[in-house]
Amino acid sequence: MSLKIGMRSVNITPPAPVSLAGQFRIRVSEGVESPLLANIFAIENGEDQIIICSMDLGNAGDELCCDVRRKVAKRCSDIRVDDLIIASTHIHTGPNTAPTRHVGGLDPKYLPYGIRVIPNEVAPPEMWGGDKCREYISTVVSEGICDAWESRDEGYFGAAFGRAVVGHCRRAVYADGSAKLFGTTQVDNFFELEAGQDTGVELLYAFDKNKKPIGALANVACPAQVVEDMKVISADYWGKVRDWIHRELGEDFVLCGLLSAAGDQCPVDLIRRFRMKNADNRMYRRSDTFSMENNYEGTYEIGKRLGREIVERLPEAVEVMKGEAVIKNQTLTVDFPLRRVSVEEYESNLLKLRAKLDEFGTSEITPGQASDIHIYAGSIKRYLLQDEAPTFAGKVHVARIDDMAFASNPFELFLDYGNRIRGRSPAAQTFLIQLCDGSLGYLPTEKAERGSHYSAYVSSGWTGHEGGDLLVEKTLDILNKMWDN
């Protein structure tokens, strides 16, 4: 049957200062560098439907997704809200939408000795909290989804594939087998980067009934975190990609950026350095896409690379344009195994936590000190909970459009898992979407667990490599069945 396609872009930037999500401290926004958007793609063939929404946010948390689904269901009864694929570009310069926020990432009830974390900034009275941001964003996003669905009309799609250097592995491994997130490579015992990088860009272009391009989906293995430490609202490099594309293809062209498996990836090249000095005349690291001074140069560079690639690959999609396709969409809930802590690990972390608290010498600690004890408190918390709930639920979407597959997960999924899914997939192209319908932390590989450090700590996520193996096999099982039928 003929395809019907609709696309929409809506501005989700809160009209007030916000608490910015990401990092281990409170950051209050001091302005808007670039607007935050939610970009929506809707397609159906009369038999099945797929709706994908990508938001310029730190994550698509459970509460936000539930609110969006509830509001969509109220307005559009013919949308299968459980099958909505709601994701984020994983910026660190967007509003917090969680109902509460624990400074330093720690739940106060698991802080012993009655200690509490003192925020590093005083929130101005006009600042919007997580609840207000979530209510505002869920309303705008739900309206955008319904508008995209209701505007659908006869349309076409075409696939293409591009390459652009955006992400790099951000975990350095040393001769003793240990690893470190953003670890220095300028030491004698540096051995390797823990994983590779993925320069591929999966592309799907949408066209209206007159075969005019109206939008695209672009799948990139790198979080949007070039300016992650700044105190501004910014769409990071996706804002610059959109600027580039709008200059070339028009302001109405909708670009839906999707984050592929990239839990161990970032815009920082840990290996290469330019010979540049800072104000103290000391050498500092500056890769070709990222400045440790957190300026916008890197966002423009990535914007140019990705934007140019998306524009230049459009003719390839035109050549294979189709107006009919098999569409399948399946959502499942997977019970993932909780990553466990042994008695020995619990006792060791308890001693280390007490030593740290004694070192601080106060019951009121700073966010920086809270981040220092995150590893210990997180492991203690896990030990206390793991027998009560040995598994936890996570939502996974698997979909098919013609010979293209889409597979989501709610984790910061390490690259190797994505490679396993993509390599074994029966599809000609496989779009992977992480941090989708939830935010369940990092999902490291077994190698990363051995190397340890942030992103591979027990406290960094809910499951470990057993959960990663389960995710890979569950996803591939559904994909294979979609292609068998």
Count of CB atoms situated within 10 Å of the CB of 291: 20
pLDDT digits (tens, 9 = 90+) for 404-459: 999 999 999 999 999 999 999 999 999 999 999 999 999 999 999 999 999 999 98
pLDDT digits (tens, 9 = 90+) for 216-242: 999 999 999 999 889 999 999 999 999
Q: What is the mean pLDDT of the chain?
A: 91
Q: What is the SS3 assignment for 305-352?
A: HHHHHHHHCHHHHHHCCECECCEEEEEEEEEEECCCCCHHHHHHHHHH
Residues in a beta bridge with 429: 404
Residue 286 has pLDDT above 80, yes or no: no
411 and 443 in contact (C-beta within 8 Å)?
Answer: yes
Tell me what pLDDT residue 128 has. 92
Tell me what pLDDT residue 27 has. 87
Tell me what pLDDT residue 360 has. 87
Mean pLDDT, residues 149-155 taken together? 97
3-class DSSP state of 39: strand
Tell me what pLDDT residue 102 has. 41
Tell me what pLDDT residue 405 has. 98
106 and 367 in contact (C-beta within 8 Å)?
Answer: no
Confidence of residue 293 (pLDDT cuts 50, 70, 90): very low
256 and 216 in contact (C-beta within 8 Å)?
Answer: yes
Confidence of residue 284 (pLDDT cuts 50, 70, 90): very low
Mean pLDDT, residues 51-75 taken together? 97
Structural domain spans, the chain:
4-174+195-266+299-332+392-484
Q: At 148, phi and psi to the nearest 5?
A: -60, -40
The proportion of the chain whose per-residue pLDDT surpasses 70, expressed as a percent, equals 92
Confidence of residue 101 (pLDDT cuts 50, 70, 90): very low
* Residue at token pair 């390839």: 316
Q: How many CA atoms lie within 13 A of 172 on its CB side?
A: 17
Rg of the chain taking only CA atoms, in angstroms: 22
Determine which of 34-43, 86-95, 107-116, 188-197 has the lowest per-residue pLDDT on average: 107-116
Amino acid (one-letter) located at 372: D
pLDDT digits (tens, 9 = 90+) for 400-413: 999 999 999 999 99
Count of CB atoms situated within 10 Å of the CB of 483: 15
Residue 40 has pLDDT above 50, yes or no: yes
| C-alpha span between 470 and 5 (Å, rounded) | 33
Amino acid (one-letter) located at 485: N
| C-alpha span between 443 and 461 (Å, rounded) | 6
316 and 202 in contact (C-beta within 8 Å)?
Answer: no
Confidence of residue 275 (pLDDT cuts 50, 70, 90): very low
| C-alpha span between 249 and 210 (Å, rounded) | 16
Tell me what pLDDT residue 99 has. 73
Q: Which of 212, 223, 237, 153 is nearest to 413 (CA)?
A: 223
Tell me what pLDDT residue 441 has. 94
pLDDT digits (tens, 9 = 90+) for 298-331: 899 999 999 999 999 999 999 999 999 999 999 9
Residue 113 has pLDDT above 60, yes or no: no
Mean pLDDT, residues 8-18 taken together? 97
Confidence of residue 53 (pLDDT cuts 50, 70, 90): very high
Q: In terms of pLDDT, which residue wins out, 344 or 485? A: 344
Query: Could you tell me which residues come within 8 angstroms of residue 353 by beta carbon, excluding any fewer than 6 positions away?
Result: 112, 373, 376, 377, 380
Percent composition of the chain: helix, strand, coil (DSSP 3-state, to 5)? 30, 25, 40
Tell me what pLDDT residue 278 has. 47
